[in-house]
Amino acid sequence: MDNQVIKIKKLHAILHRTFGEYDNNELLNYINELGGIAKTEIYYITYSSYLFSNNNIELANEILNEGLLKFSYSFSLHYNAIIIAFQLNDFKKLFEHLGYCYKYSPKESLNEVEKLQQEIVNVIEMNKLMPIDTLNRFLEYTLKIYKQGDSRTYPMNKFGESLIRKVLDKNTKHENMTNLYKTSMLTDIINQIRYYVKSERFMGREDYTFEFDFSGKTMIPLSLLTEGTFIEFIFNEEHFTSKNSTLEFNQYNYLNFDKGKLTIKSDKPIFIGRPIPIKDKEEKPYKLVLHIFIDGLSEAYLNDRVPQQYINNILSSFKNKYENKNCFAAADWTFPSNAGTVTATDFTKHGQYHSTLDHDFSIKQKSLIETIKENGYFTTLISGDWRGTPTQGYGKSYDRVVFKNSVGGFGASEIIEEVIDHLEAFKDKNNYVWITLPDLHDIPDELYFSPLSQMNLNFKDRLNSDLGVTSVRTKYNESKIKRYGNELKRIDLHIGVLFNYLKQRYNEEDMLIIVHSDHGQGYLTPDATNFLNDYRTKVPFFLLGGNVETKISTKLMSNLDIYPTILKLLNIPLDESNLNGALLEDFGGTNRKFAVTETYHPDQTYKIVFNYSDFKIYFETFVFVDNYGRVDFERYKINFEAMNDISEDEKMTYVNEVLNWIKDHRIYLQK
């Protein structure tokens, strides 16, 4: 790997020089040489510039788009994209990239961006390429892009605007709308109250007129978009109106119809969700697939204790239970880890890693839950995870979303109440439901919502505050460890209520229940020689119910392997060729040689651990990852941690294997 890094750096230095130093063929040779080793950010910058200078605008645009999928926060790629967009007369893209240039610009380049903007404005005005008011709107759009936040604020957008009753993705198959849910006093939200209200989201269509032909009992979710809207319903030639109705403005209204023809007309646009047949006729392998995601649950913590004392309902409620005790998260925190879970890809493919910059993974990678939806399951998300909002890519996966920010107290008890309500309402459907239980996350954040949590702590533990820089970087703390065990018991208590309901509603063979986590916790151990130790990286994985073979497995797995395995159990075909996850060995797949966990944060060193069956290899750079996601692999350290005796020659063989993997899979990030 070292030779490649030196070669890449040398080529980067050559290509940083001005174009005037080389003729076209010489420059292209250097570009191709670099691309043959690794398509780095500099490769895309230089190649797009070369193509532009040779008047190959269309190919330059293709190369830029490819580069921006890999380096979404690259100032120079966005800068080049401005020039290309101008040549293509794509002014919306031009001013969008201009906004990103301001957002991602180093301080020393701000004047350059301002100068470019002025030149563009002058050309537009001089050649009268658009009306002044249109130009001003584009400039306002640039400012909006520059000042945008991220999608953690859902159901507000990244520009700080309410999404309540705003129709998104219009005229696409993913057209959707969010309204408030279970509230009578509010009609909209502002930033100060967004934490404390629930919202509900459906896919559907905005229009004045709708026509349906129902073959059986069907529900349509209907939402007004404007108060005072008059609606006429013609059902099987009978006429009805909304004049004296109980239709609410600030919620979806569930309207149930028998078999027949329905026409709906309104004097103002309304939004109607996709019709939902009350009963699904097609039989699926399981009537219910329930995914329980417990944020921050560490398998290493459970291994140190008697698990039955903490998660007895998870362990004992179902006859059939597959448990993997050697599962590793692909990343050390929620944002990249859960995107990896639902796409079966790592951060290089799904793109979610930056803690403060926005990214929609569905632009790059399709969620495998979307595949489940396309195969006849009614998919639902009930969550308060602000790192898993519909606008971050998850929206395309779900027919229905119920969301309330976890910081507003949307914990296990209330979420499980929503699950039971949902399953009872849609009891005759083939249901897939993902729920997020955030309660363990409250511990490093030092939030106290539950009376039970507080009653199980000594007063001295409430007088011991030790808030970390982030929840991931919270240090060892005995008071937090005490609370961790109590919270886990409380979560399991509520899961027990849910499981009792499920066993009354379904036969065990008709259910498949998934329990997993996204990462462990660093504060659980005082002996953290390596940041990516088992307490932080090792997570539990359970499959309960159905025809799952009862087994406790120690086969190596990654959380990226979950969904290829789930799709296999659901008899849904899957092309694994572009995935980093694969079918588990216990279910007919091949054995995993190692599972990796990575820390890839701007302003921190890049770290990765290779978890083999009986040893670990830790790799860490000396230089921090920069804000564009670039890494300097020239200087690094390696730590070999073996559980059994292993010779020095064997160690070197495996170290070389690891370095070759980094060269093949990560070297393109080289600065």
Contacts of 285 (CB under 8 A, 6+ apart): 512, 546, 569, 570, 571
Tell me the average pLDDT across 272-298: 96
Helices (H) and strands (E) in the chain, counts: 20, 22
- Chain centre distance of CA 635: 31
Tell me the average pLDDT across 348-376: 94
**374 and 496, same structural domain?**
yes
pLDDT tens digits, 387-397: 999 999 999 99
Contacts of 439 (CB under 8 A, 6+ apart): 295, 411, 412, 449, 450, 453, 487, 490, 491
The answer as to whether 157 is a domain residue is no
More confident residue, 489 or 449: 489
**249 and 110, same structural domain?**
no
Question: Which CATH number belongs to the domain containing residue 63 in this structure?
Answer: 1.25.40.10
Burial of 492 (0-12, 13-18, 19+ CB in 10 A): buried
Answer for the pair 313, 501: CB distance below 8 angstroms, yes or no: no
Tell me the average pLDDT across 370-391: 97
The answer as to whether 156 is a domain residue is no
The answer as to whether 225 is a domain residue is yes
| pLDDT tier for residue 334 given thresholds of 50, 70 and 90 | very high
Query: pLDDT at position 471, please?
Result: 55
pLDDT tens digits, 64-88: 999 999 999 999 999 999 999 999 9
**317 and 273, same structural domain?**
no
Question: Which CATH number belongs to the domain containing residue 495 in this structure?
Answer: 3.40.720.10
**319 and 254, same structural domain?**
no
**201 and 56, same structural domain?**
no
For the chain, percent of residues with pLDDT exceeding 90: 87
Got the DSSP string for 637-653?
EEEEEESS---HHHHHH
**273 and 295, same structural domain?**
no
**433 and 541, same structural domain?**
yes
Structure tokens at 271: 């939004």
Query: pLDDT at position 458, please?
Result: 73
Query: pLDDT at position 207, please?
Result: 98
Query: pLDDT at position 455, please?
Result: 78
pLDDT tens digits, 530-588: 999 999 999 999 999 999 999 999 999 999 999 999 999 999 999 888 999 999 999 99
Angle at 20 between CA 14 and CA 26, to 5 degrees: 55
Residue 436 to residue 398: CA distance in whole angstroms = 14
Structure tokens at 229: 């809207």
Residue 142 to residue 73: CA distance in whole angstroms = 16
Furthest-apart CA atoms within the chain: distance in Å = 84
Query: pLDDT at position 468, please?
Result: 59
Please identify, among 591, 618, 649, the residue that sits at the C-terminal boundary of a domain: 591
The answer as to whether 630 is a domain residue is yes
Contacts of 264 (CB under 8 A, 6+ apart): 209, 210, 211, 212, 222, 231, 232, 233, 234, 270, 272
Query: SS3 letters for 514-552?
Result: EEECCCCCHHHCCCCCCCCCHHHHEEEEEEEECCCCCEE
pLDDT tens digits, 481-499: 888 999 999 999 999 999 9
The answer as to whether 282 is a domain residue is no
The answer as to whether 441 is a domain residue is yes
Tell me the average pLDDT across 206-228: 97
Answer for the pair 551, 542: CB distance below 8 angstroms, yes or no: no
Query: pLDDT at position 24, please?
Result: 80
Please identify, among 561, 591, 621, the residue that sits at the C-terminal boundary of a domain: 591
Tell me the average pLDDT across 368-382: 97
pLDDT tens digits, 160-197: 999 999 999 999 999 999 999 999 889 999 998 999 99
**454 and 414, same structural domain?**
yes
User: With 70 as the cut, is the pLDDT of residue 61 above it?
Assistant: yes
Span of 182-186, 378-382, 667-671 with lowest mean pLDDT = 182-186
- 589: amino acid identity, one letter: G
User: With 80 as the cut, is the pLDDT of residue 464 above it?
Assistant: no
In 274-365, at which residue ranges do the beta strands (DSSP E only) sit? 276-277, 288-294, 321-328
- Tell me the β-bridge partners of 263: 211, 234
| pLDDT tier for residue 470 given thresholds of 50, 70 and 90 | low
Answer for the pair 355, 114: CB distance below 8 angstroms, yes or no: no
User: With 70 as the cut, is the pLDDT of residue 469 above it?
Assistant: no
Tell me the average pLDDT across 402-430: 96
- The domain in which residue 392 lies consists of 288-591
Query: pLDDT at position 446, please?
Result: 72
**429 and 334, same structural domain?**
yes
Phi, psi of 198 (to 5 degrees): -95, 155
Residue 462 to residue 446: CA distance in whole angstroms = 9
The answer as to whether 201 is a domain residue is yes
Angle at 188 between CA 183 and CA 192, to 5 degrees: 95
Query: pLDDT at position 84, please?
Result: 97
Residue 583 to residue 520: CA distance in whole angstroms = 23
Query: pLDDT at position 472, please?
Result: 59
Q: Peptide bond before 155: cis, by omega within 30 degrees of 0?
A: yes
Question: Which CATH number belongs to the domain containing residue 188 in this structure?
Answer: 2.60.120
> How would you classify the pairing of strands 260-273 and 198-214?
antiparallel
- Among 633, 521, 483, residue whose Cα is nearest residue 12: 633
User: With 80 as the cut, is the pLDDT of residue 454 above it?
Assistant: no
| Radius of gyration of the chain measured on its C-alpha atoms | 27
Query: pLDDT at position 520, please?
Result: 94
**610 and 567, same structural domain?**
no
Residue 296 to residue 484: CA distance in whole angstroms = 10
Query: pLDDT at position 18, please?
Result: 64
- Among 638, 635, 642, residue whose Cα is nearest residue 621: 635
| pLDDT tier for residue 473 given thresholds of 50, 70 and 90 | low
Please identify, among 88, 122, 149, the residue that sits at the C-terminal boundary of a domain: 149
Query: How many domains, the chain?
Result: 4
Query: pLDDT at position 528, please?
Result: 72
The answer as to whether 161 is a domain residue is no
Structure tokens at 317: 């409620």
User: Hey, is 116 helix, strand or coil?
Assistant: helix
State the average pLDDT for the chain.
Answer: 94
For the chain, percent of residues with pLDDT exceeding 70: 98
Answer for the pair 394, 381: CB distance below 8 angstroms, yes or no: yes
**350 and 424, same structural domain?**
yes
Query: pLDDT at position 572, please?
Result: 97
**548 and 415, same structural domain?**
yes
List the end-to-end C-alpha distance of the chain, in Å, as a whole number: 14
User: With 70 as the cut, is the pLDDT of residue 419 above it?
Assistant: yes
